[in-house]
A and B are shown apart, each in its own frame.
Chain A
Amino acid sequence: MQTIRYEAPQTVAQAVRLIEADPGAKVIAGGTDLLVQFRAELRQPTAFVDVKRIPELVGITIDQNGLRLGAATSAAEICEHLEMRRLWPGLVEAIQLIGSTLIQGRATVGGNLCNGSPAADATCALIVNRAQCVIAGPKGERTVAVEHFSTGPGKTVLEPGELLVACCVPHPAPRTADAYLRLIPRSEMDIAVAGAAVSVTLDKGGVCSAARVAIAAVAPTALLVPEAAHALIGSPIDDRALARAAQAASAATRPIDDKRGTAEYRRVVAGVLTKRAAAIAAERAKGR
């Protein structure tokens, strides 16, 4: 029976050294996925590397470049941040859907991403907002677009010794807004059976000039769906455009049957959520 160590590095460099030296070490932020897996004996780390005492990983900054979200910032802190909610309502909505209020006291966006679940609530909202992942490692720092961060269920682009430090989100263009919806059987708590995030930019005439659509839980990773975005661009985001976007989203899905839903169900609902999220995003964009 091995002893599992607990480490609490104070700097990024310390953390990187620790995880590079010990490939069995796991980074822990909120632990809401990691500790559940640990107790189910699905993951057996040699050490827990607690990154919450590293200043760069905790905190929310908004400046002229946009948003910098420390990877180990709790969802609860994010949901309390009024300015972040004003600028990225869909993103904050998505984060607020992780688990429950209780879970959000611990859950983090970094953890949500690094767990690599295709059903993660934060991922799609980050994708449509063009988020970038800032990664620190033995070879220095690099940036990866969030839609490329997860490579499969439970898998990410993190190399040995690498640590997700922050997510950076650029300021939305004028008349741009986002929304995120997901389908769960109950009203709270459940893992998304399907999810959709949409960001739209409207021109002065109310016609969509730019859009991004991402869907969750319907493929091995969250999917950016350019075809659904194209269905919206150039339209006033009316029912016809919404229906086409829904169709495109459904067509892009590669879902599975599992204990949470059937493939066919996910295919249909991904479309429904896409058109509804697009409608909400459009309403919000008009209000800017």
Chain B
Amino acid sequence: MSDRTYRYVGTRPVRHDGLDKVTGRAAYGADFSLPGMLHGVVLRSPHAHARIVSIDTTAAEAMPGVKAVIAGRDIPPNSAKLMLGGEAAIDLHDMGDNLLAHDKVLYHGHAVAAVAATSVDIAREAASRIKVVYEKLKPVCSIDQATSPGAPILHANLVMQGRPKSEAKGPTNIAGRMELGRGDVDKGFADADVIVEREFRTATVHQGYIEPHACVARWGQDGRAVVWCSTQGPFVVRDASAAILGMDAANVKVIASEIGGGFGGKIVVYLEPLAILLSRKANRPVKMVMTRDEVFRASGPTSATKVKMKLGARRDGTLVAASASLWYEAGAYPGSPSGAGAMCCLAPYKIPNFFIEAYDVVVNKPKVAAYRAPGSPMAMFATESLLDELARELGMNPIDLRLKNAVVEGDLAPYGPAYGPIGLKQVLEAARNHPHWRAPLEPSQGRGIACGFWFNAGMNSSATITLSSDGSAAVITGNPDIGGTRVAQALMVAEELGIPVERVRPSVADTDSAGYTDVTGGSRVCYATGMAVISAAHDVRDQLRARAAKIWNVDLESVGWDAAGCAVGLNGVGNFPPLTVTELAAQMANTGGPIVGRASVSAPMAGPAFAAHICDLEVDKETGRSRVVRYTTIQDAGKAVHPSFVEGQMQGGASQGIGWALNEEYVFDEDGVMENPGFLDYRMPVASDLPMIDTVIVEVPNPLHPYGVRGVGEVPIVPPLATIANAMRDATGVRFTELPLSPPRVLRGLAARS
């Protein structure tokens, strides 16, 4: 596989959808309109925790211009039922309750009712006239609060899932606990020469996509709903909406618009079922667009966490034991990524004895949604910070310490299976050899390095390729394109069929027209949907070979396919000049009819991805303010189909991680109300905050994929948290274990040391 030379894969053509995007023609979720369309607005809870005593919508319904009002009573009750969606299962009961609250509101911003009216202003006014009587309850807004004795309980019927430590007694906010272990941890620590242990904390952070959630729904007279929406998973929208509303999935058609960022946050369904219900009641299409305030308050950020971790090593740097206790906030309903965090945090290293427990804790905050490598960044923040401490205690170079313990093919992952071919060592070597690692530092600067890991997903995908008689091709999948996957698919088709990539037109089709496909997420599109695309291309090739066989009047087995992309005769079967795709396509109608290639795959778990980042941080010790002055990302991509977009994932994920480490956090008041639900005070990196981000793509092919592709999208967000904290340690001598490293926190830490 690594010996194969590619004509198209690995090149950098302009993406097919690029022209529309640079001219403003591309249509995103809020850009769509239908005649007679109404505007839907959601009424949200002003309390973080309360019982709903009554809801009176009569005043709203009586307003001129209001055509429909719905509340929790309009969502059919669903018993707890799991549905696959994205990388995790969706609990339909919880989802229905999150869409519109039933008995209780569980976070400030929880949807309580929705109004459809002839204008947004009228809808908002009408929503304000809905009379809701609440019985206020005390909220819990942190892990410590939620788990303290006598804490207010969110769900009276919650039973801890997994492996509770002891017999569950009474109501709890701890929704789950899991364990991972190997060997004998106590003995391991007894054998250690050096032990480091710290408690780490991270805050609630949001994916921060620039495009708010938006949809238009139209209910037809035939009982069919058509939804246009911005989503990472049109099939999730379809299946979840259908399940919640008690409809057949085939009666919900979802058309995915272009999507303005998702990062996992647009796998969840917030608006579409509401818009469908309102449209049904009003008998008109309904458009719903979240405000930025709503996006922060009522869509899913990722977990705030508390991670206690302990590492033990011998004097020569060999890791002998590790233990960790991971506490993750799930938000209002169970389902944080603490389990994934537990599986990832030790994944890069050979540790014979370890014990990890991971807790899922409900709190009165919005339910968390996936955010790029969900669970891994927070847990690896702990591991990689402790390794940095260990390296200092042992007097070892931090890269050497990691190399000494790095996993290779055949080693067991902490979550069970043996690794196939992986590139961690190659990534670390590339880091050591990079000029950044040796560059001189100014006195006010420090340097940090850290690794990251993400499993990457496989899951299910379909693809269809249709050939035109002029030899051009269309490739159709159901995966919204967030980062250049369409052009990657076109490259694959070009490669397999020998057609120039400009003559391959990739598109994202709706749920009627595309075969079932799991979400755009999990770093899986280039891998799994790519496999489907390649298989579909082979299907086309086989059909083309059959046409050549017919034209030449030979057996199918005597027709091969050469590297130039032509059907050729094999085994000296005759003196036939090769036939190009264009030539064969021109004769389609006479040789058997239309050629449509199809494939559907259930891809095995993809190749795991490892990354290492290096950061130089300049710290103003009088103010605690810091600045990233140099940043390098190194990652094993398996095979970079379109290198520019692989680099883009590395740079984008790194900058999200940098924001997470330095300035991003939800600030809550004591009533559980978010104080900074806007881009002014939720501080994501701006262009002047960052330098150019260097990228080094390492390619250790993933044998599960025809080209060796590994997922690339998620792992880049994992290393920055510890990379920055380690650079801060290097610059200031202070080990910070709580993020973000905002200037007040840094100055306090510096003052405490002196």
Chain A residues near B (Cβ < 8 Å): 1, 40, 100, 183, 185-191, 193, 259-262, 264-265, 268-269, 272
Beta-carbon contact of A187 and B627 below 8 Å: yes
Contact of B623 among A187, A260, A264, A269 (CB under 8 A): A269
The stretch of B68-76, B203-211, B571-579, B676-684 that contacts the partner chain: B676-684
**B122–chain A nearest beta-carbon distance, Å:** 7
In angstroms, Cα B680 to Cα A260, docked, is: 10
In angstroms, Cα B141 to Cα A134, docked, is: 49
**B742–chain A nearest beta-carbon distance, Å:** 6
Beta-carbon contact of A1 and B125 below 8 Å: yes
Beta-carbon contact of A185 and B625 below 8 Å: yes
What chain B residues lie within 8 Å of A1 (beta carbons)?
121-122, 125
Contact of A185 among B622, B663, B688 (CB under 8 A): B663
Instruction: Give 8 closest A-B pairs by Cβ, nearest first.
Output: A265-B744, A187-B688, A259-B667, A259-B675, A272-B622, A185-B663, A188-B688, A187-B689
The closest CB in chain A to the CB of B751 belongs to A268
The closest CB in chain A to the CB of B65 belongs to A1
Beta-carbon contact of A259 and B681 below 8 Å: yes
In angstroms, Cα B742 to Cα A259, docked, is: 11
Beta-carbon contact of A191 and B680 below 8 Å: yes
In angstroms, Cα B125 to Cα A272, docked, is: 48
The closest CB in chain B to the CB of A1 belongs to B125
Answer yes or no: B685 CB below 8 A from chain A CBs.
Answer: yes
Given A188-B689, A190-B680, A190-B681, 5 other A-B residues pairs in contact with their CB atoms under 8 A: A183-B625, A185-B742, A186-B685, A187-B627, A265-B744
Beta-carbon contact of B686 and A189 below 8 Å: yes
Beta-carbon contact of A265 and B681 below 8 Å: no
Query: In residues 676-712 of chain B, which contact A (Cβ within 8 Å)?
Result: 676, 680-681, 683, 685-686, 688-689
Query: B711-754 toward A: CB 8 Å interface, digit per residue (1/0)?
Result: 00000000000000000000000000000001110011000000
Answer yes or no: B662 CB below 8 A from chain A CBs.
Answer: yes
**B740–chain A nearest beta-carbon distance, Å:** 9
Query: B590-621 toward A: CB 8 Å interface, digit per residue (1/0)?
Result: 00000000000000000000000000000000
Number of interface residues of B (CB under 8 A): 26
**A245–chain B nearest beta-carbon distance, Å:** 14
Beta-carbon contact of A261 and B744 below 8 Å: yes
A185-B663, A185-B742 known; A190-B683 Cβ under 8 A? yes
Chain A interface mostly: loop
Among the interface residues A185, A193, A259, A269, which one has the most CB atoms of the partner chain B within 10 A? A185
Query: B175-211 toward A: CB 8 Å interface, digit per residue (1/0)?
Result: 0000000000000000000000000000000000000
What chain B residues lie within 8 Å of A260 (beta carbons)?
681
**A45–chain B nearest beta-carbon distance, Å:** 15
Query: In residues 606-658 of chain B, which contact A (Cβ within 8 Å)?
Result: 622-625, 627
In angstroms, Cα B748 to Cα A268, docked, is: 11
Chain B residues near A (Cβ < 8 Å): 121-122, 125, 293, 622-625, 627, 662-663, 667, 675-676, 680-681, 683, 685-686, 688-689, 742-744, 747-748
The closest CB in chain B to the CB of A271 belongs to B622
Contact of A186 among B121, B667, B676, B683 (CB under 8 A): B683
What chain A residues lie within 8 Å of B675 (beta carbons)?
259
In angstroms, Cα B680 to Cα A191, docked, is: 8
**B126–chain A nearest beta-carbon distance, Å:** 10
Beta-carbon contact of B686 and A186 below 8 Å: yes
In angstroms, Cα B623 to Cα A104, docked, is: 27
A1-B125, A189-B680 known; A265-B747 Cβ under 8 A? yes
What chain A residues lie within 8 Å of B121 (beta carbons)?
1
The closest CB in chain A to the CB of B624 belongs to A265
A185-B662, A186-B685 known; A259-B676 Cβ under 8 A? yes
**B608–chain A nearest beta-carbon distance, Å:** 34
What chain A residues lie within 8 Å of B686 (beta carbons)?
100, 186-189
**B66–chain A nearest beta-carbon distance, Å:** 12
**B748–chain A nearest beta-carbon distance, Å:** 8
Listed by A's residue number, 23 A-B pairs whose Cβ atoms lie within 8 Å are A1-B122, A183-B623, A183-B625, A185-B662, A185-B683, A186-B685, A186-B686, A187-B627, A187-B686, A188-B689, A189-B683, A190-B681, A190-B683, A191-B681, A259-B675, A259-B681, A260-B681, A261-B744, A262-B748, A264-B748, A265-B743, A269-B747, A272-B623
What chain B residues lie within 8 Å of A193 (beta carbons)?
743-744
The closest CB in chain B to the CB of A184 belongs to B625
Beta-carbon contact of B744 and A262 below 8 Å: yes
What chain A residues lie within 8 Å of B748 (beta carbons)?
262, 264-265
In angstroms, Cα B676 to Cα A178, docked, is: 33
What chain A residues lie within 8 Å of B622 (beta carbons)?
269, 272
**A179–chain B nearest beta-carbon distance, Å:** 16
**B662–chain A nearest beta-carbon distance, Å:** 7
In angstroms, Cα B688 to Cα A151, docked, is: 34
The closest CB in chain B to the CB of A100 belongs to B686
What chain A residues lie within 8 Å of B122 (beta carbons)?
1
The closest CB in chain B to the CB of A265 belongs to B744
**A50–chain B nearest beta-carbon distance, Å:** 21
What chain B residues lie within 8 Å of A186 (beta carbons)?
663, 683, 685-686, 688-689
The closest CB in chain A to the CB of B665 belongs to A259
In angstroms, Cα B685 to Cα A189, docked, is: 10
**B210–chain A nearest beta-carbon distance, Å:** 14
The closest CB in chain A to the CB of B293 belongs to A40
Beta-carbon contact of A268 and B747 below 8 Å: yes
The closest CB in chain A to the CB of B679 belongs to A189
**A195–chain B nearest beta-carbon distance, Å:** 12
What chain A residues lie within 8 Å of B680 (beta carbons)?
189-191
What chain A residues lie within 8 Å of B743 (beta carbons)?
183, 185, 193, 261, 265, 269
In angstroms, Cα B683 to Cα A191, docked, is: 11
What chain B residues lie within 8 Å of A268 (beta carbons)?
747
The closest CB in chain A to the CB of B125 belongs to A1
In angstroms, Cα B748 to Cα A265, docked, is: 8
The closest CB in chain B to the CB of A273 belongs to B623
The closest CB in chain B to the CB of A269 belongs to B623
The closest CB in chain A to the CB of B291 belongs to A39
**B131–chain A nearest beta-carbon distance, Å:** 18
What chain A residues lie within 8 Å of B625 (beta carbons)?
183, 185
**A174–chain B nearest beta-carbon distance, Å:** 32
What chain A residues lie within 8 Å of B623 (beta carbons)?
183, 269, 272
**A57–chain B nearest beta-carbon distance, Å:** 27
In angstroms, Cα B706 to Cα A139, docked, is: 83
Among the interface residues A190, A191, A260, which one has the most CB atoms of the partner chain B within 10 A? A260
**B171–chain A nearest beta-carbon distance, Å:** 33
In angstroms, Cα B627 to Cα A188, docked, is: 12
The closest CB in chain A to the CB of B675 belongs to A259
In angstroms, Cα B627 to Cα A25, docked, is: 43
What chain A residues lie within 8 Å of B663 (beta carbons)?
185-186
What chain A residues lie within 8 Å of B747 (beta carbons)?
265, 268-269
What chain B residues lie within 8 Å of A269 (beta carbons)?
622-623, 743, 747
In angstroms, Cα B680 to Cα A185, docked, is: 11
In angstroms, Cα B747 to Cα A100, docked, is: 26
In angstroms, Cα B743 to Cα A185, docked, is: 6
The closest CB in chain A to the CB of B666 belongs to A259
**B686–chain A nearest beta-carbon distance, Å:** 6
**B240–chain A nearest beta-carbon distance, Å:** 31
What chain B residues lie within 8 Å of A188 (beta carbons)?
686, 688-689
In angstroms, Cα B745 to Cα A193, docked, is: 13
In angstroms, Cα B675 to Cα A259, docked, is: 7
What chain A residues lie within 8 Å of B125 (beta carbons)?
1
In angstroms, Cα B122 to Cα A261, docked, is: 38
**B664–chain A nearest beta-carbon distance, Å:** 10
The closest CB in chain B to the CB of A246 belongs to B622
The closest CB in chain B to the CB of A260 belongs to B681
The closest CB in chain B to the CB of A39 belongs to B291
**A8–chain B nearest beta-carbon distance, Å:** 22
Among the interface residues B293, B623, B662, B747, which one has the most CB atoms of the partner chain A within 10 A? B623
In angstroms, Cα B667 to Cα A100, docked, is: 23
The closest CB in chain A to the CB of B667 belongs to A259
**A56–chain B nearest beta-carbon distance, Å:** 32
The closest CB in chain B to the CB of A99 belongs to B680
**A34–chain B nearest beta-carbon distance, Å:** 15
